[in-house]
Amino acid sequence: MTAVSIKSKSISKVAQKDIVELREKISAFKKGQIPEERFKAYRLARGVYGQRQLGVQMVRIKIPYGKLTADQLVRIADLSQEYTNGNLHATTRQNIQLHYIKLDDSPELWGKLEEVGITTRESCGNTVRNITASALAGIDPDEPFDVAPYAEAVFQYFLRNPVCQEMGRKIKMAFSSSEKDSAFTYFHDFGFIPKIRQKDGKEERGFKVVVGGGLGAQSFIAPTAYEFLPEEEIIPFIEAGLRVFDRYGERERRYKARLKYLIEEKKGIGLEKFLELVNEERKALSHQTYTVKLVEEQIPNLPEITELPEVKIADEKKYQHWLQTNVFEQKQKGYYAIRLKLLLGNLSAEKARELADIVRSYVANDIRMTVTQGIILKYVRKELLPYLFYRLNHLEFAEPGADSIADITACPGTDTCNLAVTNSTDISVELEKVIREDFEHLIADSNISIKISGCMNSCGQHMAANIGLHGSSIKYQEKVIPALQLVLGGGVDPYGKGFIAEKVIKLPSKKIPLALRFILNDYEDNSEEGEYFNTYFLRVGKRYFYNLLKPLADLEKLSASDYIDWGNTEDFIPEIGTGECAGVSFDMVSTILQDAEEKLYYAREALAENYYSGAIYHAYSTFVVAAKGLLLSKDVNCNTHKGIISDFNTHFYEGGEVTLPLDFETLVLQINKNEPEEVFAKAYLEQAEDFYSMVIHYRREQAEGREIEVADKLVLSNYYKA
């Protein structure tokens, strides 16, 4: 592939600017002009994530609601071979990741993705992450309407939006196609389930809205904010919610910096107060309502097939099993969808290109990545099913049991991730063998899911599985044993109710296949006819399963192999690095004030483009960041934006150290008292400029007689946030 021209007409001007800026930042970082932690925050928001292996990066490609065309898939495949090892890794957030990328290659790789309409912007970092949705959206027999256009609109609206570039933590959103909640909205920061109601004799579209869910070490089921919110209010609600999160959300204690903790009833502000604050922000929004452009649902243009290929099915039993578990009829009668099972979510470049050829030749050019690390092909004619099975089986994508107990979700674990404690991938393969060898009948006859994460952070979504596992370790005598924490009872039941799994027992990793046999044999022997796994788990209780599995935790009966993790040959040694979203950081006050100056630049730029809401928000950030710089120079702890605003009032304005036209809180919070119009944008930006100039002048006076240009005030913080 030839080198990409950043000036290519196929790349938007804003993307061109992004890519040039990434090149410049990489150069400045290598020259020592940007501190490492600051550069890390920058590149993460551009999808460039450090790996466990030194000197290489993972690049995460943002694929809203999992939708790809054949040409886009081929481009990703080509880039995987040009820049790395030729492997495409599907994630639980419908992204594709490429590993082992050189940092210097990331701008050009990004440019080549932009040529086919794909971005890496905000796929990592403290941003609005990829907008996920049910992969069945548009074809789901149970859906009230297609949610894909709404997911696309949310993606477009918040991409590069100033409100969500440097929040205290990431935000994850999901749209489910129906009340069965196949997108797992219940554990998202914002979740949307489509509904239709009758109003004045007409059908009105809207969504049930849930907020503040989350997985990880402490998991929360998202409470319901609205049983029905009209479709045109979805984006304004999200924007106002993000503004509240940005201002009131935790920033210092990273483990408390998610939206779920902000709206927690006991220790946070609570859902009711959160919604009150959201309503207060509505006046400041550029859109009080936002209409999503819809197109009439219709059958897409499908490839013309002049001659039906003839094939001979070598394994009729496998074919019938595949039809039963991997194929279903769409809501469009006469058309079928096919679920493809990707082992460990991996897809080689060669197979990706052949899959793209199948798509171009026989089905709709609308590939959907799934939240279970698979793929769905749409609009398949019934007469083509034998031939497509033949082709997909050749690619090893036709294994029966996609999205079943035999299709285990697993993050990369210690293969590439800094935070991982134990291997996720090899144990996943072992457990799939257990299912196919001993419990094949459960593949079609159960709703049991198995998910594995390399650590408690739940990238493999183990807390949303009926049977979940996350990496851990057990110290025994002088050695450390690779272990997995077993959790049971998570996931979504057949009626759409979400469950968070409960911790049951920690076991040596090599005992997990036997533990799975214990659990499934017990379930089959003792559950009632047709009883859902979670119902059985709740009925007998976690103590029952603890006692069932306790013999496997006997450390006195371990063999030498138990000290070796799956996929390894030597004794286990925990090697947990610093996660790319965390880490101790140190910053000079002068560097923080440079951040404020950068916000001013962005504000002026937005104003020049008549982007008034953007100019206002960047000006707001200027106030907050500059105030934080002075507070930290006096060793005042800075936690939330709201706290910074209040503390600056106390320590600087009320004490008479600075003179302002208004008290600082009133001055800054004009942002949510005014509509985002030109007059206010210009006035507010001018006030931010005056404030920044005052801060710089104050800082210079503060430095008099103290060689501060040589020995700047060092701020040491667990989590620097602006």
Q: Which of 432, 419, 330 is nearest to 381 (CA)?
A: 330
Residue 714, pLDDT > 50, answer no
Tokens 């279903």 belong to 328
Domain boundary among 81, 114, 147: 114
Same domain as 260, residue 146: yes
Quote the pLDDT of residue 254.
Answer: 79
User: What pLDDT, on the 0 to 100 scale, is given for residue 543?
Assistant: 98
pLDDT at 573: 85
Same domain, yes or no: 182 and 64: no
User: Is residue 450 scored above 70 in pLDDT?
Assistant: yes
Span 148-176, mean pLDDT?
Answer: 97
| Residue 239 φ then ψ, to 5° | -60, -45
φ, ψ dihedrals at 155, nearest 5°:
-60, -50
For residue 442, the enclosing domain spans 409-563
pLDDT at 722: 35
Q: Which residue has the higher pLDDT, 557 or 236?
A: 236
373 and 326 in a common domain? yes
Place 301 in a pLDDT band, splitting at 50, 70 and 90.
Answer: very high
Question: Are 386 and 416 in a shared domain?
Answer: no
Q: 264-273, 281-290, 468-477, 712-721 — which is least confidently predicted?
A: 712-721
At 193, list the tokens.
């389930």
CA nearest 264: which of 252, 256, 276?
Answer: 256
What pLDDT is stored for residue 252 in this prediction? 80
Number of domains forming the structure of the chain: 5
205, containing H or E segment? strand 202-211
CATH classification of the domain holding 241: 3.30.413.10
Binned at pLDDT 50, 70 and 90, residue 717 comes out as very low
Task: Decide if pLDDT at 715 tops 70.
Answer: no
In single-letter form, the type of residue at position 224 comes to: T
What are the residues whose beta carbons fall under 8 Å from the beta carbon of 600, sequence distance 6 or more? 618, 619, 622, 685, 688, 689, 692
* pLDDT at residue 296 in the model: 85
Which tokens in the block code for residue 257?
Answer: 């910096």
- 203 domain residue, yes or no: yes
Signed CA dihedral, 173, 412, 250, 618: sign only: negative
Residue 703: its pLDDT value, please? Answer: 67
In this prediction, residues 687-713 reach a mean pLDDT of: 74
Q: What is the largest CA-CA distance in the chain?
A: 88
Residue 103, CA distances (Å) to 33, 88, 258, 533 in order = 17, 18, 29, 46
The pLDDT confidence band at residue 307, using thresholds 50, 70 and 90, is: confident
One domain, residues 91 and 153: no
Q: Is the pTM of this model over 0.85?
A: yes
**CA-based nearest residue to 186, from 487, 438, 414, 499:** 499
Mean pLDDT score across all residues of the chain: 93
The per-residue pLDDT for 127 is: 96
Model pLDDT, residue 418: 82
Same domain, 185 and 268: yes
In this structure, the strands spanning 57-61 and 173-175 are: unpaired
**Residue 150 domain-assigned (yes or no):** yes
- Domain end (from 530, 563, 596): 563
Q: Residue 707 above 70 pLDDT?
A: no
> Mean pLDDT across the stretch 204-228?
96
pLDDT (tens digit per residue) in 106-147? 999 999 999 999 999 999 999 999 999 999 999 999 999 999
DSSP string, 279-312: HHHGGG-S-SS-PPP-----PPP----SSPPP--
How big is the chain, counted in residues?
722
pLDDT at 718: 39
Q: Quick check: is 33 in a domain? A: yes
- Confidence at 102, pLDDT banded by 50, 70, 90: very high
Q: What is the pLDDT of residue 708?
A: 42
Q: What type of residue is 227?
A: E
575 found inside a domain: no
Are 527 and 430 found together in one domain? Answer: yes
Residue 370 has pLDDT above 50, yes or no: yes
* Comparison of pLDDT for 717 and 397, the residue scoring more: 397
pLDDT classification of 220: cutoffs 50, 70, 90: very high
The neighbouring-strand residues paired with 377 are 338
Q: Do 589 and 695 sit in the same domain of this protein? A: yes
Q: Is residue 578 part of a domain?
A: no
Cross-strand partners of 470: 453, 485
**pLDDT value at 4 more than 70:** no
pLDDT value, residue 702: 73
CATH number of the domain that 710 lies in? 1.20.120.330
Residue listed under structure tokens 């029905």: 228
The one-character DSSP state at 342 is -
Rounded mean pLDDT, 73-87:
97
Scanning 408-564, the segments in alpha helix (DSSP H) are: 425-438, 442-445, 512-526, 533-540, 542-549
**Residue bearing tokens 């410049």:** 24
Question: Are 355 and 467 in a shared domain?
Answer: no
Same domain, residue pair 539 and 610: no
Q: What is the mean pLDDT of residues 269-295?
A: 96
Residue 168 lies in a domain: yes
Using DSSP's 3-state secondary structure scheme, residue 88 falls into: strand
Q: Do 557 and 417 share a domain, yes or no?
A: yes
pLDDT score for 585: 37
Determine, yes or no, domain membership for 573: no
- pLDDT of residue 405 exceeding 80: yes
Of 51-55, 84-88, 156-160, 517-521, minimum mean pLDDT range: 51-55
Instruction: Assign 1 a pLDDT band (cuts: 50, 70, 90).
Output: low
Q: Which of 267, 284, 301 is the last residue of a domain?
A: 284
The predicted-structure confidence for 567-584, as pLDDT tens digits, reads as follows 999 899 877 555 555 433
Asked if 152 and 101 sit in the same domain, the reply is no
pLDDT band of 297, cuts 50, 70, 90: confident
Is residue 1 in a domain?
no
